[in-house]
Amino acid sequence: MSIRPWAEWWANSGFRIFPITPDAKYPPIFKHFGGRATTHIEAIVDWWTTNPMYNIGVVMDGLVCIDVDLYKNPDALEELSIFGIDKNQTLCQRTARGGLHLVYLSAQQYKSKPDRFNGVDIKSGPDAYILGGGSTYEGKPYEILNNVMPVPLPPEMAAILTPWGPAEQAAAAQQQLATKIDDPASIAAFANFCLTMHPAIQGQHGDHQTFIVAAQGVKDLALSPRATYEIMLRYYNPRCVPPWDKLELQAKVLNGYEYGTHAVGGLAPSLLFQSARLAKAGLYPQPKRRVDWLVEELLIPGQVTVLAGASGVGKSSLIATVIAHMISGHSMGPFVVQRPTAVITLNTEDDEWISHNRIAAVFKQYDWPIDEVAQKNVLVLDKEETADEPLALMERGGRIVVNPRFEDRISLWVSILPHAKALFLDALPNLHEGNENDNGEMAQVMTVLNRIASRFDLAILVAHHAGKGEASVRGASSITGRPRLAYTAAPHESKANSLTLTQVKKTHGARMAAHELDRHVTKLADDGEEWTVTVFAGTSKQAAEDERVKYLTALANWMSVSGQTMVSESGAAQYLTGMFPDMIYNQFRRRGQEPGKLRRWLAGRPLSIPLTKIDGTSVMATLQLAEKGITLI
């Protein structure tokens, strides 16, 4: 019996899911399941058509699952009931071993294994998952017992759990706070807040104003809903025009808890002062951390790079060149590509066929074959894929957030090309609703991009427009202040058909020197349309051939002088990188089935070289690729 109907049920209910090995809890089919999980039915149908018996992984992003192993502790539910946990009030399922999963809503992520309960585990956050109803484990099913939508995690339970924090002192402080719901210092702070906050006035957004006050109590100050209501009733409600009915005020408090976005206790005095006491003074130098480059000096997994250039300077052409090098495994000047890499590219200004042709023109310029590897490594998209919706939406009040529909589209793209490592977005002005010159709004926009890069573990390159000054970016400074890397492309001062690429932002290490780019014109067919290809100076097709001849001639001379007729690829690479320090040894190494540069240089293209022997006579020799290395005949 297929598990697919259950997978569709979970997705249609709003839960992000992903496939797991049949009849098992792990491993997930995808390494980075948090970024691959989706509610998109097309992707789910595709996955469960591949294998109808895949188990269902339900990501706990925005959720908390209380995992109760009744076979370890039959009294666990009774112990939890003291803290507001009730299996009849929220989504509940029976596990394959007879335990229970109780699923609650929570914006806060919590650590697992609460000390005070035996047989109880906590699963929460985007890196955690549970098997969903319909799955099986060791031949036994997971069954839905209470088919209702999850309700908010009871504050009594939240109070005894340990939130994840950015540092151990924050986590320790939160743990201290956990036993201090309705702490006297928080009660005094909230009473003062109610006396000084603007009251709700009919016709002046009083409903929203009251929500803010309630959320301050039940979220920021870690007060129980009851305490929050009583304090608001005494100190805030009499100042409102007109005062709220008691039942209406209770509803506002519950809304503040359910929909407030801040973590519980974030502004509680006991937390703030405890954190200050736990801070450790002093300077503690740390060893240098290695940057995990996807493309050296350009792209880092989970991070954002900005490329800015004036209209018509050739940003889209340069992006096409970078994509062509990545999907084929070729390095591009200082941008070192270790192996063929899959990418997704979205151009919101041009049609899909234009992007296809720009990339194909790069292959034509370098005389590279568009082989099966390159074909499987790229997904080309245009504005039709986004229905003209922005990635970053502006809510009422000026807050900018990620567009969930756009985020779902990215989930779909990643499911289509699951081995993708990079996302190219062209161009930034079409991706948000913020004011380009407002530093605060653009900081939020760039935060949205950083969130997407982190969630999907993608290196993102976003194109933008240049400012009026040299090597400047148009708009607010946060456009380059928030990303890890930023570049500008501008016309060369003295050379026509040339550009200067300048690195204007780098958060670690010295900035890269400016580089010259050349623009070439090529045709995809003899009678076809001309396309502009932007390349690093000295890396055109002819320059590449000159480089091949130069280095292979040096290798042949070395083999001749040393009396060798065969050398391994590794030995040849060591010689060349020793003689020419600017060359990078990794470019010559073979990784699995991916050919190194030496193999690409010689595969099907032996090089005939005139060599001078020790006695002064000349002879024609041929350097070619053999099964066990490189031979000189």
- Mean pLDDT over each residue of the chain, to the nearest integer: 82
**Residue 524: per-residue pLDDT:** 85
Residue 470 within any structural domain of the chain: yes
* Judgement on whether residues 142 and 196 belong to the same structural domain of the protein: no
CA–CA distances in Å: residue 218 to residues 88, 184, 263:
24, 14, 10
More confident of the two residues 516 and 596: 516
* Judgement on whether residues 259 and 202 belong to the same structural domain of the protein: yes
More confident of the two residues 622 and 279: 622
* Judgement on whether residues 43 and 104 belong to the same structural domain of the protein: yes
Percentage of the chain modeled with pLDDT above 90:
28
Residue 312 within any structural domain of the chain: yes
Measured between alpha carbons, how far is 203 from 319 in angstroms, rounded to an integer? Answer: 51
Domain stop point among 229, 244, 278: 278
Domain stop point among 160, 189, 219: 160
* Judgement on whether residues 91 and 14 belong to the same structural domain of the protein: yes
Residue 296 within any structural domain of the chain: no
Measured between alpha carbons, how far is 128 from 603 in angstroms, rounded to an integer? Answer: 47
Overall pTM > 0.75 = no
Residue (of 571, 569, 627) closest to 598 by Cα position:
569
> Which residues, 6+ apart, have CB-to-CB distance to 328 below 8 Å?
340, 363, 368, 371, 373, 374, 377
* Judgement on whether residues 256 and 380 belong to the same structural domain of the protein: no
Q: Which amino acid is at 328?
A: S
Confidence band for 543, pLDDT divided at 50, 70 and 90: low
* Judgement on whether residues 391 and 440 belong to the same structural domain of the protein: yes
Domain stop point among 98, 131, 160: 160
Domain extent for 189 = 168-278
* Judgement on whether residues 502 and 461 belong to the same structural domain of the protein: yes
Residue 133 pLDDT more than 90? yes
Give the 3-state DSSP-derived string for 44-63, with helices as H, strands as E and coil as C: HHHHHHHCCCCEEEEEEEEE
Residue 204: DSSP 8-state: T
* Judgement on whether residues 41 and 115 belong to the same structural domain of the protein: yes
Residue found by looking up tokens 């390349």 in the block:
535
Q: Which two tokens stand for residue 167?
A: 């540092």
* Judgement on whether residues 137 and 61 belong to the same structural domain of the protein: yes
Contact by Cβ (8 Å): 450, 412? no
Measured between alpha carbons, how far is 318 from 324 in angstroms, rounded to an integer? Answer: 10
More confident of the two residues 353 and 613: 353
Please report, for the domain that includes residue 366, its CATH number. Answer: 3.40.50.300
* Judgement on whether residues 73 and 178 belong to the same structural domain of the protein: no
Residue 611 within any structural domain of the chain: yes
**Residue 267: per-residue pLDDT:** 64
* Judgement on whether residues 522 and 565 belong to the same structural domain of the protein: no
Q: What angle in degrees, to the nearest 10, is found between the helix axes of 41-50 and 4-12? A: 160
Residue 588 within any structural domain of the chain: yes
> Which residues, 6+ apart, have CB-to-CB distance to 192 below 8 Å?
none
Tell me the pLDDT tens digit for each residue of 290-304.
677 899 899 999 999
Residue 166 pLDDT more than 60? no
Number of structural domains found in the chain = 4
Residue 74 within any structural domain of the chain: yes
Residue 147 within any structural domain of the chain: yes
* Judgement on whether residues 429 and 519 belong to the same structural domain of the protein: yes
Give the 3-state DSSP-derived string for 285-324, with helices as H, strands as E and coil as C: CCCCCCCCCCECCCECCCCEEEEEECCCCCHHHHHHHHHH
Confidence band for 575, pLDDT divided at 50, 70 and 90: confident
Residue 22 pLDDT more than 90? yes
Residue 295 within any structural domain of the chain: no
